[in-house]
Amino acid sequence: MNRKTLAALAAALGLLAGWSSAPAQPATIVPPTCERACLKGFIDRYIAAMVAHDPASLPVIRDVKFTENGQELKLGDGLWGTIQAQGAYKLYFVDPETQEAGFFGTVTESGRQDIIGIRLHIQSGTRISQIETQVARQSLGGGPGGGKAPVMTEKPIFYEDVPPAQRRSRQEMVAIADSYFEGLEHATETLTPFDPHCQRIENGMVTSGNPDAPAGMSRMTCGEQFATHFSPFISHVRERRYPIVDQEKGLVLAIAFFDHNGRIKDVKLTDGSNLHVPPPFDAPFAFELFELFKIQDGKIMRVEAVLNTVPYGMKSGW
């Protein structure tokens, strides 16, 4: 075999050595995602579009799903048609891992103040794919705080980082939030880890841990209230969902329904006294609520909720 033939054979073998029968693997494409500022920005864009009554300006996917108070509506309907301005109170909470953004705040609608809860899901970091809203409007009865929603103030505790040593896994945080609902269903304080100073706000009203309230339930902390075993008239906490979990800030957003079947008229509290169940809890109805938990060192420190009175057994639309 001469030199030219050897050189050609070597070149051919070199080419074959670099050839594989397996097909080339495409490069992994990672869809773009939103970080904290981006997710918060989508909330701001959503509210600005509402105030402008301009749903067309909002970046949404073609089949975006939109609900208000559990009812699926066409984007641009409901509060979109009657909102006048955004109010001063703003509370943001986000979950970069699930690409969810949440918000509690005040708005003006037809000359009245409402409190709203918003949940957005962002797809590929560019468009809104889900919109779930809760609008607590002033009413002639309704739920806690429904008649008079005071102007709320910023609460720095919701924005404070939880020290890394005190953070819990996503699963643990969901379990802690869920234990709150279990404690209500079973009328016990033994299932729920509360910070000794836990406070709860519902529709702008301080309903536990209120230092300005006279002696009674509203003055008690969350744990002290649960320890009275007051809640047998809450017959079921259902359709529990936990779309936002923020380990860095220690926040969990829960969405659920509180059913009241109206059958229990009196509750014997742990101090031996009798609680006569007042209206509307003495007839069948439900609360639909967005409930935000601040968790630190494995304990619930703050609870804030936006809720509505809805028909007994109503579904969430999700």
**Two structure tokens written together for 96:** 């970069």
Amino acid 27: pLDDT: 54
305 is a domain residue:
yes
Q: Do 293 and 195 fall within a single domain?
A: yes
Q: Do 246 and 120 fall within a single domain?
A: no
Q: Do 191 and 286 fall within a single domain?
A: yes
106 is a domain residue:
yes
Amino acid 252: pLDDT: 98
Residue 280: is the preceding peptide bond cis (ω within 30°)? yes
Amino acid 18: pLDDT: 41
Which range of residues forms the domain containing residue 203? 160-310
28 is a domain residue:
no
Q: Do 187 and 124 fall within a single domain?
A: no
Q: Do 238 and 273 fall within a single domain?
A: yes
Among the three residues 136, 152, 170, which one is the final residue of a domain in this structure?
Answer: 136
Residue type, 36: R
Predicted TM-score (pTM) of this structure? 0.87
24 is a domain residue:
no
Q: Do 186 and 290 fall within a single domain?
A: yes
Q: Do 195 and 294 fall within a single domain?
A: yes
> Which is it for the CA torsion 58, 69, 153, 291, positive or negative?
negative
131 is a domain residue:
yes
CA distance 316 to 298: 29
Query: DSSP 3-state assignment of 187?
Result: coil
Amino acid 150: pLDDT: 52
Q: Do 166 and 132 fall within a single domain?
A: no
Among the three residues 120, 136, 152, which one is the final residue of a domain in this structure?
Answer: 136
CA distance 172 to 169: 5
Our count of domains for the chain comes to 2
276 is a domain residue:
yes
Q: Do 164 and 118 fall within a single domain?
A: no
- Report the number of secondary-structure helices (H) and strands (E) in the chain: 4, 14
- The domain that holds 276 is classified in CATH as 3.10.450.50
151 is a domain residue:
no
259 near 234, Cβ under 8 Å? yes
Q: Do 173 and 127 fall within a single domain?
A: no
- Across the 318 residues of the chain, what is the mean pLDDT of every consecutive 10-residue run? 49 41 50 89 98 98 97 97 95 97 95 94 96 85 48 86 95 98 97 97 91 89 98 97 98 98 97 95 96 97 95 93
